[in-house]
Structure 1
Amino acid sequence: MLPSTMNVTLAISNKSLLDKVTSIISSFKDVGLVKNVKDYQELMPELEKTDKNLFFVIDLTSETFSAVTAKAQDIVTDHDKNVIFIVNDDQKTDEKYSAILDNVIGANFKLIELSSLISDLKSETGSDNFPIPINNFYKVTAFPCDIFVKLGVDKYVKIANEKDPVDDNFIQKFKAKRVDSFYVKSHDFYDKCTALFSDKLADVKLFDTKEEYVRKSQEILHGMVKDLGVNEFIVSKVNETLASVEKELQKPNLKKVFNLFEKMKGTFIYDHSYLTMMFCNILCKHMDWESEQVRSKLAMASMFHDLGMANPKKAFYEGAGKSKITTMDQELSQEILDHGRIIAEMLQADKEMPQEVINICLNHHEGLGPEESYPRGLTGTNLTQLECVFIVAHDFVLELYKIAFNTSKIQKAYDAVAQKYTSGNFKAIMKAFEVALEEEIKPSI
């Protein structure tokens, strides 16, 4: 049995899964600190603690935490069963989990399944009110159930009825009052709220045009980057440059690229490309590269670099490193390893396309040598500073997804990038990034 108050450590890389688990965990009474660790190295010291007031939820389907699998049974024993492991559904009956079945749940769990499992381990029921991040409601066109805001301890007021249409103005009104979560009743959370935890930023059907949908998705992204210390000036400059990139794509000889670009709007590829552009601009500012020409090249590279991926969902795996990618399914592995070369060849069709843009697209997974980089295994000594700026910004964005955009872990995301990129032209880039982090990003968080 768990103690009456529990501090919770989550080890979850996927943002939607993290939202789902956090909402359930937060519904229980006497929950103390809830934190999400970034990687295996950060998780292990937590698991070594002997404090009986600890509870863990660890996602073993994530490559980031898969190494924990071999230690699963010992972890359950050491922590008096106060651990839940999320595994692939087809692995639940695997022999290695046979001794800890009470602590295992399939990755496609229903909301009530996880809550019930926590209740069994904690020997108490959860609260009657579940918090859900306010931006999650853009994922649906109508409220799935009655919606409440919290006014104080155990005091809630209903603000919307089930099936009321979701309206942007309505949500903005509460955002202006610094409301970051709406609440739902427990029975509704289990039965009606699954769609609020999908991977998409917003539901396209909520908007009259795709342009409005993209605008709202970008607005949500704006909120995320502002939370991470990106100022309004950078956001406005990025949007100006993005408009010029879209104009550039209207050329007849780039029609195929333009079609791919349009198709990717609203996907992970588009979203993380937009964020990459943001952090490229911050790095340029601290490298004293303020010219429109440089911003334009980095913007084009940001929006083009992953268009060689046929399936945008596969882009989640691109930052795993060559050694891990080559162990994946052959078809998946080949598509990931080839995507930079494919888009570079497509861009060659435009004779006016700057060679620097093509090179960035080809080399955006280079910099770590033959063991981890692809397609050519280059180090920082073989790359230009412009390519290094892009690679650092891009990798930092992938790290932000790993920490689920938790502003308290911004240093961890930076450290993960700084530890990797130490050679050649990366040195000046990382020095500029360190200044940006300390002088601009952290003070704004």
Structure 2
Amino acid sequence: SVANGFVALERMEAFGEPELIVSDHKILEETGNSLYHHLSANDLLIPLIICSGSIDYEYKERTYPLVSAFVQKPFSIESLSYLVKSITTEKIAQPSFIAVKLPILLSFINKSFDLYLKLSEANYVKIIKQGEAFTKEDSDKFLKKGISHLYISIKDSFEFLKAYEENLNLVLSSKSVNNETNIVHTIDVLVSIESVSKRLNWTPELIQSAKKNIDTAIKILSKDAALRNVLKNKLANPSSSYSRHVGLLSYMCSIFSQNLDWGGDTVQTKLVMAALLHDLAVDESYYDDIKNWNKKAANLRDRTPETIKYRLHPLDASKLLQPLENLPPDIELILLQHHEKKDGSGFPRALTSTRISQLATFFNIVEELVEFIGDGENLETSLTDFKMWGDAYYESGHYKKTYEFIRKKIG
């Protein structure tokens, strides 16, 4: 028994490490703080039981991970004795690393932990640093070599579990709307934006905020059963070019529209809803050659039935909103104008920049960027090409101001 943490340190120096430490909470927050830091700095795995009259377990466990157990006062000597025996009876070697399956690692973006490869029971080598991308190509490479797990350091386990819980909660919450949220929560879609998020310096907070905006948009749209089924069917294949296009467009619309000084508080949700719906009326057969169909639709002299059908898909998309009540009219306007061009060369109405809404202008420029990025290969070249093209094309009018706002987000 000692009076405080300083005396405890002196005893440890004189007599060696104890088998167990039981202390009042002051060991953490007052004179004993130095003892806790000594244990932490020297990686001493001495069982530590803290007794306190008031315990915020989540805060304590997050702030003081070395503590083996927290006991709330008052307690009986029998309960404390049982706890001591359960901690000290069997010595279990504490692992230095935790194995994580490769598919789970693919669900993380801008991860806050390093990844290690296990060479032997005592030898681990760092192969991917904190914040670096872990892609499907990396996973496939390890699987071909018979490696199904990578490892994280035990010191990073709290951050890992926190991030994993957030991902899991998003997936579980999506079940309440019949899995429509697969557009943003499947591994394939998340992997497709990995390199983009890293290149554009998207923080975990930005990505989490975008996910919430997308969840909100999907839940609103899914209130109509027919629209919910259309969404589900169109986005059934999360690795398709269509799903990747819509997924990346949804993220970019949400993240790029943060801090806009116009559009209102719901601007992000409006843009994401438009991203989810804008091509929902397009038959998949058109999507294999979408650029060519855009050219054909812009040529108003082309009156073949197939071209007319494609030319009118913005109108068909806007009709999908009719069963939903109290939606802002901005969303319908974005859908109607998402193929219009500033010089009047778009469709279906060949509007010029002065007649295209500001939100539709924003949406159209972001979609141009997504089309330049494509499948994400040669990303730096794609971004450079977009900026060179945009600098020349958006040289005047309110399109220029909106383009310059988005261009700054690219860097």
TM-score, normalised via structure 1 length: 0.48
Change (3 A) 1:216 1:210: farther
> Whole-Å Cα distance in 2 between the matches of residues 388 and 303 of structure 1?
17
- 1:362 is aligned to 336
Change (3 A) 1:250 1:320: closer
1:344–1:361 CA contact under 8 A, matched in 2: yes
Equivalent position of 1:236 in the other structure: 208
Choose the corresponding residue for 1:261, options 215, 231, 239. 231
Secondary structure at the aligned position of 1:351 is classed as coil
Q: Which amino acid aligns with 1:428?
A: K
Output the aligned Cα RMSD: 3.7
Alpha-carbon spacing, 1:354–1:230, altered in 2? closer, same or farther (3 Å)? farther
1:298 aligns with 2:239: no
Of 140, 146, 155, the match for 1:160: 146
Give the letter for the 1:285 counterpart.
Q
CA gap of 1:426–1:299, structure 2 versus 1, over 3 A, is same
2 CA distance for matches of 1:244 and 1:261? 14
Using the alignment, how far apart are the partners of 1:427 and 1:212 within structure 2?
Answer: 35
Tell me the number of residue pairs that the alignment of Structure 1 and Structure 2 aligns: 248
CA drift of 1:293 comes to 0.8
- Which 10-residue stretch deviates more, 315-324 or 372-381? 315-324
Q: Does 1:250 align with 2:236?
A: no
| Cα contact 1:280–1:298 (8 A) shared by 2 | yes
CA distance in 1, matches of 2:357, 2:405: 15
Contact 2:270–2:331 (CA under 8 A) maintained in structure 1 = yes
Q: Contact 1:286–1:432 at 8 Å: present in 2 too?
A: no
Q: Is the 8 Å Cα contact of residues 225 and 275 (structure 1) preserved in structure 2? A: no
TM-score by length of 2: 0.52
Measure the CA separation in 1 of the matches of 2:182 and 2:348.
Answer: 37
Q: Any stretches of 5+ residues in structure 1 without a counterpart?
A: 1-132, 150-157, 162-166, 174-208, 439-445
User: Hey, what does 1:7 align to over in structure 2?
Assistant: none
> Of 179, 190, 195, which residue of structure 2 is paired with 1:219?
190
Question: In the alignment, which of 334, 348, 359 is matched to residue 386 of structure 1?
Answer: 359
Query: Per the alignment, in what secondary structure is the counterpart of residue 320 of structure 2?
Result: helix
After superposition, residues 8-407 of structure 1 pair within 5 angstroms as 135-136=136-137, 159-160=145-146, 169=149, 214-232=185-203, 233-251=205-223, 254-265=224-235, 266=238, 267-285=240-258, 287-288=260-261, 292-311=265-284, 314=287, 316-318=289-291, 321-322=294-295, 326=299, 330=304, 332-370=306-344, 372-401=345-374, 404-407=377-380
Aligned to 1:369, the other structure's residue is in SS state coil
Q: 1:159 to 1:276 in 2, by over 3 A?
A: same
> Which deviations, in whole Å up to 9, do the C-alpha atoms of 1:32-79 show, x marking residues without a partner?
xxxxxxxxxxxxxxxxxxxxxxxxxxxxxxxxxxxxxxxxxxxxxxxx
Q: Relative contact order (alpha carbons < 8 A, sep ≥ 6): 1 or 2 greater? A: 1
Amino acid at match of 1:250: S
> 1:26 is matched with which residue?
none
The answer to whether the 8 Å contact 2:180/2:231 transfers is: no
Q: Deviations over 1:188-207 (max 9, x none)?
A: xxxxxxxxxxxxxxxxxxxx
Aligned residues of 2:311 and 2:348 also touching (Cα < 8 A): yes
Post-superposition offset of 1:314: 1.5
- Between the aligned partners of 1:137 and 1:402, the Cα distance in structure 2 is 17
SS of alignment partner, residue 145 of structure 2: strand
Could you tell me whether the CA contact under 8 Å between 1:396 and 1:417 is conserved in 2? no
- Decide whether aligned partners of structure 1 residues 230 and 388 sit closer, same or farther in structure 2, where only a CA change above 3 A counts: farther
Opposite residue 229 of structure 1, the aligned amino acid is L
> Given the superposition, is the C-alpha separation of residues 307 and 236 from structure 1 closer, same or farther in structure 2, using an over 3 Å criterion?
same
Within 2, Cα distance between the matches of 1:290 and 1:342? Answer: 24
Percent same amino acid at aligned positions? Answer: 18
Q: CA separation of 1:412/1:350 partners in 2, compared to 1, >3 Å: closer, same or farther?
A: same
1:261 and 1:319, CA in 2 relative to 1: closer, same or farther beyond 3 A? farther
Q: Distance in 2 between matches of 1:172 and 1:135?
A: 18
Q: Cα 1:409–1:305, aligned 2, differ >3 Å: closer, same or farther?
A: closer
Structure whose alpha-carbon radius of gyration is higher: 2
- Counterpart of 1:51 in structure 2 is none
Residue aligned with 1:263, SS: helix
Q: Distance in 2 between matches of 1:210 and 1:298?
A: 18
Residues 372, 382 of structure 2: 8 Å contact kept: no
Q: What is the CA distance between 1:396 and its match in structure 2?
A: 0.8
Of 403-412 and 240-249, deviating more is: 403-412
User: Which whole-Å CA distance do the structure 2 matches of 1:416 and 1:308 have between them?
Assistant: 29
Change (3 A) 1:137 1:288: same
- Separation in structure 2 between the aligned mates of residue 417 and residue 292 of structure 1, nearest angstrom: 28
Q: Which amino acid aligns with 2:189?
A: Q
Q: Is the 8 A contact 2:297 2:307 kept in 1?
A: no
Distance 1:335 1:270 in 2: 22
